[in-house]
Amino acid sequence: MKKLIIVIFTLCFINSVQATEVAVVDFRSALLQSNIGQEAAKEPKQKVAEMDARLKKEQEKLEASAKDLKRDELTLSEDEFNKRRQQLAEHQNQVRAMAANMQQQAKALEQQLIQSLTPKGEAALKSLIEERKLELVLNRQLSLYANADADITDELVKRINKDN
């Protein structure tokens, strides 16, 4: 009787232990590393580079104005000095606003890029899930630890490249 109970318990335990196929993926990274991602990112990267160049030019103007004000500080009347200092502060605020606006535009460009690539990436991921018979796929950024074998990001990049 004791052996029978042990056998039944063992069979129940074996049936309850199932290997769950789990993988992690950095979906955004896979999209951007893929050939279609690299190609699609060329125009947004160019726009961001142009925005950076404009911002740098404005920052250089601001620095030159600040140097000029410092140089002329002793020769200017108090009213003229305060007026130029106020203009410098306004220009500084404009440059900050310009930088913030450009940062928002760059983020929006990236989001548009990701949105346009997502359907192709999802199709490739779905076929990879079916092929590997995965039961759970987690975003790599949300996992505390994942074995290197569990990370399928590189496989996803290859699949996206293959399918597109």
The string of pLDDT tens digits covering residues 116-153 is 999 999 999 999 999 999 999 999 888 888 888 899 99
Distance CA 112, CA 17 (A): 43
Whether this model's pTM surpasses 0.85: no
Write the pLDDT tens digit of every residue in 81-120: 999 999 999 999 999 999 999 999 999 999 999 999 999 9
Of residues 124, 97, 150, the one with CA closest to residue 34 = 124
Backbone angles phi, psi at 151, to 5 degrees: -85, 115
Find, among 99, 90, 146, 153, the residue nearest to 121 by Cα: 153
Angle between helices 42-72 and 78-132 (to 10 degrees): 160
